[in-house]
Amino acid sequence: MDEPMIVRPEGLYCPAGGFFIDPRGRVDKALVTHAHSDHARPGHGNYLVSESCLPLLKLRLGQEIRAEGIAYGKVCKIGDAHVSFHPAGHILGSSQIRVEVGGRVWVVSGDYKPQPDQSCEAFELVKCDVFVSECTFGLPVYRWQEEEIIHQQINAWWQENVEAGRPSMLFAYSLGKAQRVLRGLDSSIGPIFAHGAVHPFLPVYEKCGVQFPRVQKPKEGSGEWAGSMIVAPPAVEDAGWTRRFKGASRGFASGWMAVRGARRRRNLDRGFVLSDHADWSGLLEVIKGTGAECIKLIHGNGEPLARYLQECGVDASMLDGSGERTGEE
C-alpha cells in the first residue's frame, strides 16, 4: 500500500491531495502547522492553517496572501485525502495535521508541547499509524519544570532587580514565547514594556482569550527604567535598541538554558528554562500515546532518540530529506 505522505525536495507531500505540509520551496498548496518562520514561509499559492493561526500567519506573511483557516477537528477532503488540524500546544494556533488516505493515517506533529500552557490551546493526542515527530529537545538532559515554577523564578528575579534599582531585560522570541512570558508576569512588581516586534501579536492572543498585564512600548528619549521589566526578542540582544536600558540585568527564556554554558556564551545574568517544545519525557509520552506502528523523526536530536526507541522495540528512524530547522522555541 502506498503511504499517504512522501518526501520531496520541497518537503512532505501528499500525492492523493496534491499538497505539502510546512514546505520549504514554493508550492501551490501548503498546509502549515503554525506561524513561525521556519514552518510558514512566503511565496506559496494557497495556505491552509488553523483558525487561530490565520491572523498570526497574515501578520507574518502579509494580509494579501491567499489563506484559509479551519476549525480544530473539522475534517476536510482535499483530493482523495481526508485532513484535519489538531492542537499542538506549541504556540497559539499551532497544529498537528492528520492525513488519512485509504484508511492509512499519518499525523505530522509540527512543533508540539504536551505540558500545560496558559497562552495557547492544550495539546491533543491523536492516534495514527505513522507519527512524524519533531525532536528539538530529544535528549534526556532536557526535562522541563511546570511553567508556574518558571514564572515564579522570573518574577523573583525581577523583584531582586527592583530592590537593586536596576531594569530587568528578558529575551524571548516575539511570537509565542514573549506572550507566554508576559502572561506570567506579576504587574504589581513594576511597569512592563515590550519591544515593538512583540506588540502586533498581543491583540490576536487577547481575542482568543489570553489575558495580559498592561504592556507598554518603550518611548524614545525615556531615561528612567529602574524597576521595569523589558521583554525583547533575541535579535536585539546586541543592538543599539537595548543600550538605552543602562545597567539592566539580562535574562533569557529558552529550553536551551537547560544546557550548562549556554548562559555564559550569551553573556547573560540569568537563564530560565522555558520551552515551547516537548522535553524528553514529553516526546516519549506522546510517541507512545499515538499508538503509531512507525515513528519518523525530524529536526533536532533525532538520531539519539531514534536509537533509544529502536532499543525499546519501536520502528523509529529519521525522515529522509526532512532538513534542519532553527526556529523559534
AA letter at 297: L
Q: Are residues 107 and 213 in the same domain?
A: no
- Give the C-alpha separation, 72 to 96, whole Å: 10
25 Cβ neighbours under 8 A, 6+ residues apart:
9, 10, 11
| Final residue belonging to a domain, choices 272, 289, 308 | 272
Residue 327 belongs to a domain: no
> Contact at 8 Å (CB) between 40 and 32?
yes
Residue 187's domain is classified under what CATH number?
3.40.50.10890
Q: Which domain holds residue 37?
A: 6-141+277-318
Residue 180 belongs to some domain of the structure: yes
What are the per-10-residue average pLDDT scores of the chain (329 residues)? 89 97 95 97 98 98 98 98 98 98 97 97 98 96 97 98 97 98 98 97 98 92 85 92 92 93 77 97 98 93 92 93 49
The CA distance from 34 to 39, in Å, is 7
Number of domains in the chain: 2
- pLDDT computed for residue 39 by the predictor: 96
Residue 328 lies in a domain: no
**Is residue 136 domain-shared with residue 201, that is, in the same domain?**
no
- State whether 197 and 86 are in the same domain: no
Q: What are the distances in angstroms from CA 232 to CA 99, 118, 131?
A: 37, 20, 35
Do 241 and 296 share a domain, yes or no? no
Specify whether 123 is located in the same domain as 155: no
Query: What letter does residue 300 receive in the DSSP assignment?
Result: E
| Sheet of 130-135, strand order | 76-78, 81-87, 95-101, 104-108, 130-135, 294-300, 316-318
Q: How far is CA 281 from CA 19, 176, 231, in A?
A: 32, 22, 29
Q: Are residues 29 and 86 in the same domain?
A: yes
Same domain, 17 and 165: no
Q: Exposed (0-12), middle (13-18) or buried (19+): which is 63, by Cβ within 10 Å?
A: exposed
Residue 241 lies in a domain: yes
The three-class DSSP label of residue 272 is strand
70, 169: one domain: no
Q: What is the pLDDT of residue 216?
A: 95
Residue 1 falls inside a structural domain: no
Q: What is the CATH number of the domain that holds 62?
A: 3.60.15.10
249-253 and 95-101 strand pairing: unpaired
Please check whether residues 185 and 162 belong to one and the same domain. Answer: yes
Place of cell 524597576: 227
Are 11 and 104 contained in the same domain?
yes
Pair 135, 17 in one domain: yes
Q: What is the DSSP letter of 144?
A: P
Same domain for 99 and 35: yes
